[in-house]
A and B are shown apart, each in its own frame.
Chain A
């Protein structure tokens, strides 16, 4: 093997080694700093895509009203469904309005954001509590029908209204996407 070939092999090996180190570093950091896709990402994509379509409005479900439905794509091109939902509320807390983004094919909740809290009890709701709903896969209309979720410790009625909104989401998705309504 002459010097030129040896030099070329050495050069390629060094380039490959640096690439592997860089990729490994980024893979680790990607896991550490991973943020689930949220509403901003959806909003941005939805606004930039002409294919962003409003499907229906004001659909009454058992536990709330699906006020607006939009279909769009995430930045990676995967189809998602965005629901603007008002969950039934009761005194002293009012209704609870959320925007929920669902992966169209799998039914996974990708993002949840509180838009309106109808109550006037002055709770500062923790985003982390709402974020705990992310990752749940809607595989039936009663997936959120449990007492496990609290929107804020002590906020019993708001929690109920929020859970109602999520149940309306699950019911809508189940009827329209899982049972073959729009798929």
Chain B
């Protein structure tokens, strides 16, 4: 698989937030602020890259029957590393402490996040270390972008700010900061993402069809000239 294909898959075609709809709990709970979404995204990306690399390294060693417990063990180790890092950095920066507090129980729950286990099983256990690392990075980036985008929209509408900076003055619709607002905003963004994706796919298909028609016409003309 080419690096470009892996990247496009992770970011767009198999985007965890808008296409695969994986890890909905944390997506809905942590998207009330853009910074929380970004923090969670970075944590998940770190775990994804590290666990993908280790699982890819272990793919020949781990017996098939116990592969899932092994994957969970590896993922849990990296989630604990993230927890330790956040605790360590929280003592140095109050901003990180706030993000860590906001993540709360969703941080240890990364262990059972479908995205990570799905990439381990579907990709890392079948591909090389390099490809698995790139896959982890781009799937994580897709998740981070999706979660941050949702956070930006919800924070803007719900609190009138983006990343804590007041933009809309006193304007706010608190509904968007609440769970129901999360579902509606998420639904609308999925709709928008998929419409855009389908259009791009259609344009690409049309372009390819035109190119193949032009090519076949050229071949026919050349054949006629030679004949």
Q: A33 to B84, Cβ gap below 8 A?
A: yes
Q: Which of A11, A18, A38, A40 contacts B73 (CB 8 A)?
A: A18
Chain A CB within 8 A of B97 CB:
yes
Query: Which residues on the B side are within 8 Å of A30 (C-beta)?
Result: 84
From residue A29, how far is it (CB to closest CB) to chain B in Å?
Answer: 6
Closest to A35 in B: B91
Q: Give the total of A residues in contact with B, Cβ under 8 Å.
A: 17
Most interface-central of A10, A18, A29 (chain B CB within 10 A): A18
CB distance from B108 to the nearest CB of A (A): 13
Q: Choose one: B61, B65, B81, B97; the contact of A29 (CB below 8 Å).
A: B81
Q: Is the interface of A mostly helix, strand, loop or mixed?
A: helix
Of chain A, the residue at the smallest CB distance from B76 is: A22
Nearest Cβ distance between residue A97 and chain B, in whole angstroms? Answer: 19
Size class of the contact patch on chain B: 20 to 34
Q: Please tell me if the beta carbons of A26 and B91 are within 8 angstroms of each other in the complex.
A: no
Residues of A contacting B26 with CB < 8 Å?
Answer: none
Min CB distance, A111 to chain B, in Å? 10
Pairwise interchain contact A18-B70, C-beta atoms closer than 8 A: yes
Q: What is the distance, in angstroms, from A125's C-beta to the closest C-beta of chain B?
A: 15
Task: Determine if B66 and A14 form an interchain contact, defined as CB atoms under 8 angstroms apart.
Answer: yes
Cβ–Cβ < 8 Å partners of A40 in chain B: 90, 97
- Complex Cα distance A10/B63, Å? 9
Q: Tally inter-chain residue pairs, CB-CB below 8 A.
A: 45
A15 touches B66 (CB 8 A): yes
Which of chain B's residues 99-153 have a Cβ closer than 8 Å to chain A?
Answer: none
Asked whether any CB of chain B lies closer than 8 Å to the CB of A25, the reply is: yes
Could you say which of A14, A34, A35 contacts B63, with CB atoms under 8 Å apart? A14
How far is it, in angstroms, between the C-alpha of A10 and the C-alpha of B62 when the chains are bound?
A: 10
| Contact flags A1-40 to B (C-beta < 8 A → 1, else 0) | 0000001001100110011001001100110011100101
Whether a CB of chain A sits under 8 angstroms from the CB of B169 is: no
Contact A33 B88 (CB under 8 A): yes
Structural contact, A18 and B74, CB atoms closer than 8 A? yes
Which residues on A sit within 8 Å (CB–CB) of B85? 33
Q: Report yes or no: A26 in contact with B88, Cβ–Cβ below 8 A.
A: no
State whether A29 and B84 are in contact (beta carbons under 8 Å apart), knowing that A18-B58, A40-B97 are contacts in the complex: yes
User: How far does the Cβ of B47 sit from chain A's closest Cβ, in whole Å?
Assistant: 13
Q: Evaluate contact between A33 and B87: CB separation under 8 angstroms.
A: yes
**B80 contacts partner chain A, Cβ-Cβ < 8 Å:** yes
Q: Of B66, B77, B81, B87, which contacts A35 at CB under 8 A?
A: B87
> B69 near A15 (CB under 8 angstroms)?
yes
Shortest B72–chain A CB gap in Å is 11
Could you list which residues of chain B lie within 8 angstroms of chain A, going by C-beta atoms?
58, 61-63, 65-66, 69-70, 73-74, 76-77, 80-81, 84-85, 87-88, 90-91, 97
Given contacts A11-B66, A35-B87, 6 further A-B contacts (CB under 8 A): A14-B63, A18-B58, A18-B74, A25-B81, A35-B91, A40-B90
Lowest 9 CB-CB distances: which A-B pairs, in order? A33-B88, A22-B77, A33-B84, A35-B91, A11-B63, A11-B66, A35-B87, A29-B84, A35-B88
13 sample A-B contacts, Cβ–Cβ < 8 Å, listed by A number: A7-B63, A14-B70, A15-B73, A18-B70, A19-B73, A25-B77, A25-B81, A26-B77, A33-B84, A33-B85, A35-B88, A35-B90, A40-B97
